[in-house]
Amino acid sequence: LYFSAQEGILIFYHIKELQYEMKICADISQPVSSLIFSPDYTSLLLVTDQGTVYSYKPAHSGEAVKLLDTSSSCFLAADFLTPGNNYCVSVTTSGEVQVWALEDGTFLSKLNLGIEVHVT
């Protein structure tokens, strides 16, 4: 079980029967609004409400890597673009859908929906 609190710390709980072990995996120092696993569960996106997206690879147990920072564009959400784990898609409140390369955070493409977007 992966969990993140307001402090921006990614925590892993290994639960087996009635016992658990807690491990701090990463500290991004920003409140995390959502955690999204890749379709094959090899990568985890940590999305902050400030518009920063980090990637964490549980098998490598390293630090979370900042992929992109969209803080100036009223960022709403991000997710993996399937199939595969190579791309991420994000959306802004203005209706701009953006595609990013997960390997290095390179901006690849955008599409303007022409409408304001809200999360419900």
The per-residue pLDDT for range 45-84, each reduced to its tens digit, is: 888 877 788 888 888 777 888 887 766 567 788 888 888 7
What are the structural domains, with CATH classification, of the chain? 2-112 (2.120.10.30)
Q: Can you tell me the mean pLDDT for 9-28?
A: 88
DSSP 36-59: EE-TTSS-EEEEETTSEEEEE-TT
List Cβ neighbours of 22 (8 Å cut-off, separation of 6 or more).
Answer: 11, 12, 13, 14
User: Cβ of 13: how many Cβ atoms within 10 Å?
Assistant: 11
Burial of 116 (0-12, 13-18, 19+ CB in 10 A): exposed
Predicted model pTM:
0.75
pLDDT score at 13: 87
Q: How far apart are CA 69 and CA 62, in angstroms?
A: 20
Q: Can you tell me the mean pLDDT for 107-112?
A: 91
Q: What is the pLDDT of residues 21-51, one digit of tens each?
A: 888 888 888 888 888 888 888 888 888 877 7
Give the pLDDT band of residue 113 (cuts 50, 70, 90): very high
